[in-house]
Chain A
Amino acid sequence: MKAAVSGWRVQRISAMVLAVCVTVHLITMIAVVHGGLSAGAILTRLHGNVVWGLFYSVFVLAAAAHVPVGLRRIAEEWLGWRGPSVFAVSVLIGLMLAIAGLRAVLALTGGPL
């Protein structure tokens, strides 16, 4: 299989980005969950914040690149589903994740208060 189609490199490069993003995300979660989550506190932290907006956008795009390759590996190895159809479905899942994720970033950083 061609390297571009197999997604091996996409998986690794996105993993490197995600390693940083997930570390930040875990630390943030442990910090903000203390005292309970509230919409007010989350939106106060994120609304209009360009740095968090960029961070979460990169996070979403890296995840949207990473997840489809992993799901495709599982489909290939455990379900025996191979070829162009599984590739097309995985790319579609990646696009949907990117759209849903960026929508969530927009909701938290630029949505209504």
Chain B
Amino acid sequence: MSELDVSHANGAAAAGRRKTPGRRADARARNHPAWWAFLVHRLSGLALAVFLPMHFWALGTALHGAAAFDSFLAVTRQPAFVFAEWGLVTLLAAHLIGGVRLLLIEYRPWSGLRKDLIAATAGGALVIGLAFALSLTL
């Protein structure tokens, strides 16, 4: 590269920097399957982390006998609970498959963005969520 080319490149870079002050990641960097996969993984993980203590508490009611446990289960038959349950199962499936995707990317040889794994996460979560919904007895 000649000196002229270098100075031209520097000038172009400077112009680019002026358009994106602070080189902050803008919407273009985020409107991407891998970023959406990250967001779904993070939000599903957060939702599951919030749910887990309630889940353990609910199951712990069995310590007071089957009747106490059953009276809790009766509450969970309300449509809102069933809907939330279905949502959590779908999120769990998404977090599972998305997590396996991350392990494969981190521990196995790879190249490129492997959007097929992101598609598998979305498709797999949908299939598992629907299988659970079909299995529900309302």
Q: Which residues of A contact B (CB under 8 A)?
A: 12, 15-16, 18-19, 22-23, 25-26, 29-31, 33-40, 42-43, 60, 63, 67, 70-71, 74, 96-97, 100-101, 103-104, 106-108, 111-113
Residue of B57, B59, B136 touching A33 (CB-CB under 8 A) = B136
B87 interfacial contact with A, CB 8 Å: no
Please determine whether A107 and B93 come into contact, CB atoms closer than 8 angstroms. Answer: no
B-side interface residues, number (CB < 8 Å): 41
Query: Once the chains are docked, how many angstroms separate the CA of A103 from the CA of B42?
Result: 27
Query: Once the chains are docked, how many angstroms separate the CA of A97 from the CA of B57?
Result: 10
B9 interfacial contact with A, CB 8 Å: no
Please determine whether B135 and A26 come into contact, CB atoms closer than 8 angstroms. Answer: no
Q: Which residues of B contact A (CB under 8 A)?
A: 42, 45-46, 48-49, 52-53, 55-57, 59-67, 69-70, 73, 76-77, 89, 92-93, 95-96, 99-100, 102-103, 106-107, 128, 131-132, 135-137
Query: Once the chains are docked, how many angstroms separate the CA of A34 from the CA of B131?
Result: 11
Please determine whether B62 and A108 come into contact, CB atoms closer than 8 angstroms. Answer: yes
Query: Once the chains are docked, how many angstroms separate the CA of A60 from the CA of B96?
Result: 15
Residue of A23, A35, A39, A70 touching B66 (CB-CB under 8 A) = A39
Please determine whether A30 and B70 come into contact, CB atoms closer than 8 angstroms. Answer: no
Please determine whether B89 and A26 come into contact, CB atoms closer than 8 angstroms. Answer: yes
Please determine whether B70 and A19 come into contact, CB atoms closer than 8 angstroms. Answer: no
Please determine whether A37 and B53 come into contact, CB atoms closer than 8 angstroms. Answer: no
Residue of A nearest to B82 (CB): A33
Smallest beta-carbon distance A93→chain B, Å: 8
Query: Once the chains are docked, how many angstroms separate the CA of A108 from the CA of B107?
Result: 36
Q: List 6 A-B contacts (CB under 8 A).
A: A29-B89, A39-B73, A97-B53, A100-B56, A101-B52, A106-B63
Residue of A nearest to B96 (CB): A22
Residue of B nearest to A106 (CB): B63
Residues A26 and B137 in contact in the complex (CB < 8 Å), given A107-B59, A113-B66: no
Query: Once the chains are docked, how many angstroms separate the CA of A23 from the CA of B77?
Result: 24
